[in-house]
Amino acid sequence: MAIALVLSARSEEDIMARPKKTINFDYGVIDNAPQGQVHKIGTYASDVGVSGPTMRQRIAEHYGDRVTFIRGRKGGFTVTAVPQEDAHDTTNAAV
């Protein structure tokens, strides 16, 4: 007796990305810290109950180019200040 097995490619409807876990994190803690302070990813990750890589990804998404990650034993991340665009600055205005 022969059993025929038919394999078909899964449609896009069958393949769904896992939804992102909802993380309730107050980014104000990082924003209100002194400039240049090194923050530890593991500390924030354990506070919220997620893994380090997940927390790192969310921090990178939230801060974009303003965040710098540091590798190694003394590692973590730092966040630079938001650039202030001063519309009333006339020092470089064309006359």
55-68, pLDDT tens digit by residue? 999 999 999 999 99
Confidence (pLDDT) at 8: 58
Higher pLDDT, 3 or 88: 3
Report the chain's mean pLDDT, rounded to a whole number: 79
> Where are the domains positioned within the chain?
41-79
Query: Under 8 Å CB-to-CB from 78, ≥6 apart: which residues?
Result: 36, 37, 38, 39, 67, 68, 70
State if pTM tops 0.75: no
Give residue 95's pLDDT: 46
Please, are residues 51 and 35 in contact by the beta-carbon 8 Å criterion? no
Does the structure show a pLDDT above 60 at 5? no
